[in-house]
Amino acid sequence: MGAVQNATRREAKDTALLGESNSVVRNRLSRIIQFDMLQRFNLDTCYRCGRKIERVEELSVEHKQPWRSAADPKASFFDLDNVAWSHRRCNSRAANHEKTHCKRGHPFDKANTIIAPSGKRKCRLCDEDYRKRNHELIAQVNQRYRDNNKERIAQRGKRFRTNNKEALIQKGQRYRAKNKERIKQKRKERYHRNKGM
């Protein structure tokens, strides 16, 4: 019990001195050492894009071939010939391109894949579902607003019509002049429909 308490006290003291937990600081130090060694031996080139890795924050260690799907995952994980360095963004992009289905299980095939301007893939079915739900939500919010503000909306409409009376009259005249035949046809249809009732 005493050893555990001493380790906990030591961890707390280290955290107080360094401002972060010991594991976070060790991880950062390890990454800085890796980056320094890569620069010294001129190995600081991204495996994916071929450009130089400029900052330690960009550094990512990755496996060239996915180790989880290998015949011997453990050997593939520790195989140094299968390890490379890359930019973090290149590594995460590559991981996303290996996915065959979206998070809801729809396949990433030609018919169901949207490529965004950034190059990111999106699922067409999920995107349509999101837009539909969002459209319905906006319609509900707008209806609630109209229900709660009927008088205010009516007053705003009256004010607009009063302030823009001449412009509205001119717009109506332009529309009627441009669509004479269409208006005549609609009047005939309405007349025949009412006559048949």
Residue 97 near residue 108, CB atoms below 8 Å: no
Neighbours of 113 (CB within 10 A): 14
Quick one: pLDDT at residue 197? 59
Specify the DSSP element, H or E, that contains 29. Answer: helix 22-40
Sign of CA dihedral 12, 13, 17, 22: negative
Rounded to whole angstroms, the Cα distance separating 174 from 180 reads: 10
Residue 65 near residue 76, CB atoms below 8 Å: yes
Residue 67 near residue 101, CB atoms below 8 Å: no
pLDDT of residue 33 exceeding 90, the answer is yes
Mean pLDDT across the chain: 85
What the block records as the tokens of 154 is 């009516």
Per residue in 53-92, pLDDT (tens digit) is 999 998 888 888 888 888 999 999 999 999 988 888 887 7
Neighbours of 62 (CB within 10 A): 20
Quick one: pLDDT at residue 93? 66
Rounded to whole angstroms, the Cα distance separating 121 from 109 reads: 10
